[in-house]
Amino acid sequence: MSELTIKLIIILIPGVISTLVFGKLILHKEWSSFRFTLYSILFGVISYLLIQLIINLLNLISIIDIDDLTIWENLNDATSIPYREVIWASIISIIIALIAAKIENNKLIHRIADHFGISGKYGDENLYSMFLNSKEVEFIYLRDIKNQLTYHGWVKSFSENENISEIRLCDVAVYNYGDSQLLYEIGEVYLSLKKEEIIIELAKLKEDE
């Protein structure tokens, strides 16, 4: 591994940190190596650009005289690694990741696009995740068609892969699927079921409940 390669890896650290934090805070399918690298480069460049913008603003209002980032000038110089700039960019990258996650989780871009009639797409996650992640979803009826059971409870957590839907319910009442006869009640239950064998319905609560 050449010195220039090592320098480029170090310079990309802020982007990698930002991508890892961003990925932990949003719902998404597994990223390919290309997509992860692309996000790392994008977040990294934004981090350095934001630092440069802050420096320009501070110099403009004459609060303090700060030199411009050297990373742009010495990019091809393998012996010059701006460690201080990398550290500051790494700190900034975490803030950028938090803001990006907030925008993604609130579907801000999709809402703007929907408002102007540009797109009706709701996001990158599937309907299962979108439905259970909705603020309106608390208590649900989960109908296990194969085992002829109905679970009533509030959603504590959920996950899924290509074939299996996992869900964790609390304050659970279990009924017969056919006649809705109450079988038993339990504080918490974990279910791992095939997607085609379940139906999820939003439970309508009475006002006095």
Does residue 67 fall inside a structural domain?
Answer: yes
Say if residue 92 is in the same domain as residue 160: no
Say if residue 88 is in the same domain as residue 27: yes
Does residue 69 fall inside a structural domain?
Answer: yes
List pLDDT tens digits, range 50-65: 998 988 888 888 766 7
Say if residue 99 is in the same domain as residue 55: yes
Say if residue 15 is in the same domain as residue 77: yes
Q: At 57, is the secondary structure helix, strand, or coil? A: helix
Tell the residue number behind the tokens 């979108």, with chain if given.
Answer: 130
Q: How confident is the model at residue 45 (pLDDT cuts 50, 70, 90)?
A: very high
Say if residue 108 is in the same domain as residue 195: no
How many domains does the structure of the chain reveal?
Answer: 2
Q: How far, CA to CA in Å, does 39 sit from each of 117, 124, 150, 191? A: 27, 15, 42, 34
CATH number reported for the structural domain that contains residue 185 in this entry? 2.30.30.100
Which of residues 53, 84, 113 is at a domain's end? Answer: 113
Say if residue 85 is in the same domain as residue 177: no
State which residues form the domain around 84.
Answer: 3-113
List pLDDT tens digits, range 10-42: 889 999 999 999 999 887 777 889 999 999 999
Output phi, psi for 13, to 5 deg. -55, -45
Does residue 120 fall inside a structural domain?
Answer: no
Q: How confident is the model at residue 196 (pLDDT cuts 50, 70, 90)?
A: confident
Which of residues 50, 79, 113 is at a domain's end? Answer: 113
Say if residue 189 is in the same domain as residue 96: no
Q: How confident is the model at residue 149 (pLDDT cuts 50, 70, 90)?
A: very high
pLDDT, average across residues 71-85 = 75
Does the pTM exceed 0.85?
no
Which of residues 113, 142, 175 is at a domain's end? Answer: 113
List pLDDT tens digits, range 111-133: 787 778 886 666 555 667 777 77
Residue closest to 132 by CA, chosen among 113, 106, 112, 158: 158
Say if residue 9 is in the same domain as residue 107: yes
Task: Give the sheet arrangement for strand 182-194, strand by strand.
Answer: 182-194, 164-176, 149-160, 139-144, 198-202
Say if residue 108 is in the same domain as residue 27: yes
